[in-house]
Structure 1
Amino acid sequence: MRNDVTSPIGREEAEAALRRLAGDAARLREDQWTAIEALAVHRRRALVVQRTGWGKSAVYFVATALLRARGAGPTLIVSPLLALMRNQIEAAERAGIRARTINSANLHEWREIQAEVAEGVVDVLLISPERLNNPDFRDDVLPKLASEVGLLVVDEAHTVSDWGHDFRPDYRRIRTFLADLPPDVPVLATTATANARVVADVAEQLGTHSTGDGADTETLVLRGTLDRESLSLHVVRLGSPEERFAFLAEHLPDLPGSGIIYTLTVAATEEVATFLRSRGFEVASYSGRTEDAERRQAESDLLGNRIKALVATSALGMGFDKPDLGFVVHLGAPNSPIAYYQQVGRAGRGVDHAEVLLLPGQEDRAIWQYFASLAFPPEQQVRATLDALAAAGRPLSTAALEPRVDLRRSRLETMLKVLDVDGAVRRVKGGWVSTGESWEYDGERYARVAAARETEQRSMIEYETTTECRMTFLRRQLDDPAIEGPCGRCDNCAGAKFTASVTGEGAEAARAALAKPGVEIASRKLWPTGMSALGVALTGKIPVSESAETGRALGRLTDLGWGNRLRDLLADGAPDQPLPAAMADGIVKVLANWGWEHRPTAVVSIGSHTRPGLIADTARRIATIGRLGYLGAVEPAFREERQAPRGNSAQRLRQVHDAFTISDDLAAAIAANQGPILLVDDSVDTGWTMTVAARLLRQAGAGAVLPFALAVQG
């Protein structure tokens, strides 16, 4: 749709476009006009690093209106989160800009939207970075879009850089897309959370380019102050999860308006939301596991102030736009001051004052370490993946790769995306293929990134304990060039508003809520695909006659309630010991509330090289409490521990499919019992140990197998 009919673009026309977007009182600031002029007049590439609420979306929507009025093609916005996309579409509509989105939540609309883009009736198309490498979109839609796009916007651009706290490999594909753009297409990258290293990396990726008049120009970087005059930052250090829950319930009524309560894990969102509802608060939970319809409803309820708070993971971390958000509370610290700044930046955008509270916990570091373990894999595992793809000679899905590579699916997928960006593999219909291109493992860079993450973690701990101005501390972490002095608003500058104490009644209510035990253990229904490649003759559905029932566990290792105690008990290197009395009391409650169709008549434990005493004692205690027979243990078939920690499903099944045996005495006891058996283990991760042991018991004549574990990993 691009043509050569142009007319001069002045600030007055840009101001008119802004008023359509933001109301009659809206006026462009000098720095906003500088960015718009660079894009719409000079057709440059620009990186805008400005605080949340500065008006970055106004820049690209106004530039879109100016460019479209001169016959330019649609604006393509690459945006990382559905919540952000929904906010952007609503903002565009206010300005009379027709915006559509293609993402994982609207598959049924893709064909219609692609037709509208082809017809030229769409002004703005928003896509997720993952869409850039969807085979159909990449091969059929993207080439034509690249030839017609009028403006490319990369939102939350810090995720382009693997130095950033929230790196998304799919964003690196933008570099390839940039190379295919005509020289006069302007490009805007925006973020509120980028330190100097990330800014330099993103600017380099945007690169030097030739404009329409043949001149070479470098990326224009516009950085502003990151101070947020409306935010009052506080840290409240409490000793236990019970105290933090009680503090939250007691102070929530005092926090202005409605807000967000961030937690570090999905399990914690449910725990916190359930407790606050029990204390009479209208709240909703929000995480990566929340269904799209529920997410939309939760976002709408928060925007409409129908709930006091949204209890969320970092799935709500970027782009959610509620100008009057009155507070942000973190129950547990993020692993980076930069990530923390980004999340607290959701508050106080359109109000004079917002409260920001951090309630750090003793479990924070363990959770950081878990997420750090998901970093880019060692070279040996990467090479094994490349070799498997090369040997296959055909596309392999992620599921088909799992038997060949001992990586969990989420980590395997992330690795493949990086390899795709690097040109070593390519995603096609049916999975992934090797390109045959040479590839070097950049171990030095990965080590530097890991070291940078560790530095960020230490800085976050320093933030919790610092006596200097907290806003100054955060701004320095982001290399803010305009730090002038203390904010005068945080607890270190103005004095503490919140004391680290709770009432006895509040603490007791929180203690009771967190002590409530019991989570489900889902039973496996299908054997992993491709097991024959590992020499394991298991395929398809697991026969009902050989499968386990839905089980129960005392708690999750990620719980704020039982999690701390279970992590200590089951930590690597922790001594094998009898079951603690407090956990026996919790087990009684789990069993009492199970609601099974057929009560078990006997107990069997799973033998272990690492915790035989704990598991056997737990099984015997359950048998005694429930007046059940203890029949013995499904014993390890090998003298040495053969189990690798945290393997994917296929590899884990390979390790355990023949790792246990049933003695003649146990087989005879099972045959004599005939009734349902409670199968006891210390923890459940992938679930294959329980599945294999249950299969052996069923084959030996057990009427049903009910798994029970002290902990589940997720």
Structure 2
Amino acid sequence: MSDEDLRTAADTVLARLVGAPTARLREDQWRAIEALVAERRRALVVQRTGWGKSAVYFVATALLRERGSGPTVIVSPLLALMRNQVEAAARAGIHARTINSANPEEWETVRAEIAAGAVDVLLVSPERLNNPDFRDNVLPQLTVATGLLVVDEAHCISDWGHDFRPDYRRLRTMLAELPPGVPVLATTATANARVTADVAEQLGTGNTRPDDGSDTGSALVLRGPLDRSSLSLGVLTLPDAAHRLGWLSEHLDALPGSGIVYALTVAAAEEVTAHLRQQGHTVASYTGKTENADRQQAEEDLLANRVKALVATSALGMGFDKPDLGFVVHLGSPASPIAYYQQVGRAGRGVEHAEVLLLPGREDEAIWQYFASLAFPPEQQVRRTLEVLAEADRPLSLPALEPLVDLRRNRLETMLKVLDVDGAVRRVKGGWTSTGRPWAYDAERYAWVNRQRSAEQEAMREYARTTGCRMEFLRRQLDDETAAPCGRCDNCAGARFEVEVSGSALESARGELQRPGAEVEPRRMWPTGLAAVGIGLKGRIPAGELASTGRALGRLSDIGWGNRLRPMLAPHAPDGPVPDDVAGAVVDVLADWARGPGGWASGAPDAAARPVGVVTVPSLGRPQLIGSLAHRISEVGRIPLLGSLVYAPGHETTHVPRSNSAQRLKALDGALTVPSELALAVKRAEGPVLLVDDRTETGWTLAVAARLLRRAGATEVLPLVLAVPG
């Protein structure tokens, strides 16, 4: 087939894909397709959101399949985008299927369809690549059969990038094992020069010609300008969270079409959703905690414009394809201008004008610091994990590893994935094993990545305060050499929105944010593997030793009480008596708790008994805060202050690590005790007691304290804390 005939065939497929008979590929799109189909090359396409990267791989797929090639495999982290892609492929007569965490019941059927040659496109989530069964039994067959490999959101491959995902690095193995001449396409809208070079280098792995096996050289890189002519960027600097929430509620209907409101945490997203609904707005929440069915419904509602906005965390992120999305608003600033560019890029793809607004908040920095704390661990912790795996006589699961290493579950799992890619460990059925291969801790690289994160955070601060063009600023952060003033942003063309908020909107927002109270769910099961650290606890916590569902004043991650509590409970914050506003709000929480369903003042037939006493958890860092809070509760509620648990001899300086559950329990084992005078008071009181602490992170201190008090005679233990993580 001549180049001219191939171009005509490609345009025909595109017309079917977009449903427009006169549609034609742009020259840069055609160049990518020509490289894949005619030249069987490996290509990296770095182009702005909305450029048409999916058109390239769907058109290439159709042409390659007509030539007898195997199915296209698309690796993508975006479940929402996967659903969009399946529908888009169908329009071009391409049969697409997915294998991801949301459809395990379909995996066997999909595998059978692939074997029968009935699947043109298989979309795979990156975590599948290192699932032992998929990696060992499916991936080898798929690698041999693949006609085109597509790596979507390819910046995730590089740990120099803002969104590195260890699972993606497993692609390096697949690239090396692809048969000669299988084309590869990597796509992203958010790669600076360093990430682009890193990904292009990795694409070269195993890159040989089908005829003579010779090296084809470096990957073809097609990088275009990153301007988005439809986007009007702006920043609104408002005094506090109430002003930001009030402004959003008052101006949401004035924003064009339907769109996305991003929040930095799940708690904030839920808080914003609740308030906007109360104010009459039709919105839906979309977070990492949203059930899959509810996510799909939210996506469908936004696509059909049945909601004004999705209030989302980065769980929605880059993975949503709605060409007529009219606005993106951020309540809180992402930590990276590259991540910000990616998220706002969902707007304005099929409309002439879309509004993009950033409303930064003072809680942003604390949230950045939290996510930064999840970085690759220090060498000592990594070596300890490798030693434990090397000494084990069987694979160790994450729950089995936790008691033996001082790392939280998520951080431990991410570290193991990196070590797996580096060849030091291997994931198998039943857990993780050591390979015994030598491994070096690349301190220089990890330090550089941390410095890069700090530089990105500073860039986001600069973006918010710059007086220059905001689109040009973002493009320069992505090393776009063609960056120039856009003429559309608030600094180029003038602000399009006032920052004033009406008194009524501000009052409503303050009412929402100042509403205190969050439930504290008790621990009901001891963590597995405690025997490995000498603790004889396992299984369910007996009913007679359980804490009850408790209450907290607020979540540290929300934009209401979280902003008040974070500085007060920061690690180096000074101790002191509980502030009056905080004490008053805690009293409100108690009153609401008492009057609520099943509360002791509810009048319900099965209402809980009224607390007969207040007990405190001992604190090494905030004894005045906790003591004064307990005293105020006792005084206002007319509930006797029975006393405090104490640290056992030798444990007076016990530090409970902010680590995984097993390590926390190891530190707590034998550390707390009920003094005889408190035990006598609890026994004489014959009823429920309020257990007061400043905060709870995992619930294990409360669980251990409740167990001791229940054994001392308390009929029920009701935890009451100032803050939970959220």
The one-letter amino acid paired with 2:423 is G
1:642 counterpart residue number: 654
Instruction: Work out the CA distance in 1 between the residues paired with 2:13 and 2:496.
Output: 43
Instruction: Work out the CA distance in 1 between the residues paired with 2:154 and 2:170.
Output: 12
1:672 counterpart residue number: 684
Cα deviation 1:163-203 (Å, max 9, x = unaligned): 11111100000000111100110000000000001000100
Structure 2: unaligned runs, 5 residues or longer: 600-607
Contact 1:256/1:355 (CA < 8 Å) preserved in 2? Answer: yes
2:540 counterpart residue number: 541
The one-letter amino acid paired with 2:12 is A
Q: Per-residue deviation at 1:689?
A: 0.4
| 3-state SS of paired residue (2:624) | helix
* Superposition map of 1:542-557 within 5 A: 542-557=541-556
The one-letter amino acid paired with 1:392 is A
Cα deviation 1:585-604 (Å, max 9, x = unaligned): 21122112223323212111
Contact 1:302/1:310 (CA < 8 Å) preserved in 2? Answer: yes
2:496 matched to 1:497? yes
1:16 counterpart residue number: 12
Q: Per-residue deviation at 1:645?
A: 3.9
Instruction: Work out the CA distance in 1 between the residues paired with 2:98 and 2:418.
Output: 25
Cα deviation 1:303-327 (Å, max 9, x = unaligned): 1100000000011112300000000
Instruction: Work out the CA distance in 2 between the residues paired with 1:600 and 1:25.
Output: 75
| 3-state SS of paired residue (2:25) | coil
* Superposition map of 1:620-635 within 5 A: 620-635=631-646
* Superposition map of 1:644-659 within 5 A: 644-659=656-671
The one-letter amino acid paired with 2:623 is P
Instruction: Work out the CA distance in 2 between the residues paired with 1:93 and 1:641.
Output: 64
The one-letter amino acid paired with 2:121 is V
Q: Per-residue deviation at 1:6?
A: 11
| 3-state SS of paired residue (1:402) | helix
2:706 counterpart residue number: 694
Q: Per-residue deviation at 1:640?
A: 3.9
* Superposition map of 1:471-620 within 5 A: 471-483=471-483, 485-594=484-593, 595=596, 596=599, 597-620=608-631
Identity of aligned residues (%): 67
Contact 1:607/1:636 (CA < 8 Å) preserved in 2? Answer: yes
| 3-state SS of paired residue (1:527) | coil
2:344 counterpart residue number: 344
The one-letter amino acid paired with 1:293 is A
Contact 1:230/1:349 (CA < 8 Å) preserved in 2? Answer: yes
| 3-state SS of paired residue (1:589) | helix
Return the match for 1:36 from 30, 33, 38: 33
1:328 counterpart residue number: 328
Instruction: Work out the CA distance in 2 between the residues paired with 1:6 and 1:18.
Output: 18
Superposition RMSD in Å: 1.2
Number of matched pairs: 709
| 3-state SS of paired residue (1:632) | strand
2:331 matched to 1:364? no
The one-letter amino acid paired with 1:134 is N
The one-letter amino acid paired with 1:570 is L
Q: 1:396 to 1:8 in 2, by over 3 A?
A: farther
1:241 counterpart residue number: 241
Structure 1: unaligned runs, 5 residues or longer: none
Instruction: Work out the CA distance in 1 between the residues paired with 2:78 and 2:677.
Output: 57
Cα deviation 1:141-175 (Å, max 9, x = unaligned): 11111111000000000000011111110000000
Contact 1:9/1:41 (CA < 8 Å) preserved in 2? Answer: no
| 3-state SS of paired residue (1:517) | coil
Q: Per-residue deviation at 1:101?
A: 0.3
1:107 counterpart residue number: 104
2:173 matched to 1:161? no
2:298 matched to 1:298? yes
Q: Per-residue deviation at 1:578?
A: 1.1
The one-letter amino acid paired with 1:12 is T
Contact 1:406/1:651 (CA < 8 Å) preserved in 2? Answer: yes
Q: Per-residue deviation at 1:404?
A: 0.6
2:373 counterpart residue number: 373
The one-letter amino acid paired with 2:695 is S
Contact 2:656/2:668 (CA < 8 Å) preserved in 1? Answer: no
The one-letter amino acid paired with 1:17 is V
Contact 1:327/1:355 (CA < 8 Å) preserved in 2? Answer: yes
2:88 matched to 1:91? yes
1:413 counterpart residue number: 413
Instruction: Work out the CA distance in 2 between the residues paired with 1:690 and 1:276.
Output: 34
Question: Under a length normalisation based on structure 1, what TM-score does the superposition of the two structures give?
Answer: 0.98
Cα deviation 1:538-560 (Å, max 9, x = unaligned): 11111111110111100011110
| 3-state SS of paired residue (2:645) | strand
Instruction: Work out the CA distance in 2 between the residues paired with 1:262 and 1:629.
Output: 46
Q: Per-residue deviation at 1:644?
A: 4.1
Q: Per-residue deviation at 1:616?
A: 1.3
Q: Per-residue deviation at 1:213?
A: 2.9
2:444 matched to 1:444? yes
Instruction: Work out the CA distance in 2 between the residues paired with 1:58 and 1:298.
Output: 25
Contact 2:657/2:667 (CA < 8 Å) preserved in 1? Answer: no
Return the match for 1:210 from 208, 211, 216: 208
Q: 1:486 to 1:164 in 2, by over 3 A?
A: same
| 3-state SS of paired residue (2:315) | helix
Instruction: Work out the CA distance in 2 between the residues paired with 1:646 and 1:686.
Output: 9
Contact 2:258/2:308 (CA < 8 Å) preserved in 1? Answer: yes
Instruction: Work out the CA distance in 1 between the residues paired with 2:345 and 2:420.
Output: 33
2:602 counterpart residue number: none
Instruction: Work out the CA distance in 1 between the residues paired with 2:659 and 2:49.
Output: 40
Contact 1:151/1:185 (CA < 8 Å) preserved in 2? Answer: yes
Instruction: Work out the CA distance in 2 between the residues paired with 1:626 and 1:153.
Output: 64
Q: Per-residue deviation at 1:510?
A: 0.5
Q: Per-residue deviation at 1:463?
A: 0.4
Q: Per-residue deviation at 1:25?
A: 3.1
Instruction: Work out the CA distance in 2 between the residues paired with 1:710 and 1:641.
Output: 23
Q: 1:138 to 1:399 in 2, by over 3 A?
A: same
2:423 matched to 1:427? no
The one-letter amino acid paired with 2:497 is F
Q: Per-residue deviation at 1:500?
A: 2.0
Instruction: Work out the CA distance in 2 between the residues paired with 1:277 and 1:643.
Output: 43
| 3-state SS of paired residue (1:262) | strand
| 3-state SS of paired residue (1:502) | coil
Instruction: Work out the CA distance in 2 between the residues paired with 1:418 and 1:448.
Output: 17
Q: Per-residue deviation at 1:9?
A: 5.8
Instruction: Work out the CA distance in 2 between the residues paired with 1:518 and 1:362.
Output: 22
2:396 matched to 1:393? no
2:282 counterpart residue number: 282
Instruction: Work out the CA distance in 2 between the residues paired with 1:111 and 1:686.
Output: 38
Q: Per-residue deviation at 1:650?
A: 0.5
Deviates more, 1:312-321 or 1:348-357: 312-321
The one-letter amino acid paired with 1:199 is T
The one-letter amino acid paired with 1:412 is L
The one-letter amino acid paired with 2:329 is V
Cα deviation 1:220-278 (Å, max 9, x = unaligned): 00000100000000000001000000111111111000000001111000010001011
Instruction: Work out the CA distance in 2 between the residues paired with 1:644 and 1:9.
Output: 70
Contact 1:9/1:66 (CA < 8 Å) preserved in 2? Answer: no
Contact 2:651/2:671 (CA < 8 Å) preserved in 1? Answer: no
Q: 1:109 to 1:601 in 2, by over 3 A?
A: same
Cα deviation 1:408-466 (Å, max 9, x = unaligned): 10000000100111111111111111111111111110000000111111011000000
Q: Per-residue deviation at 1:713?
A: 1.7
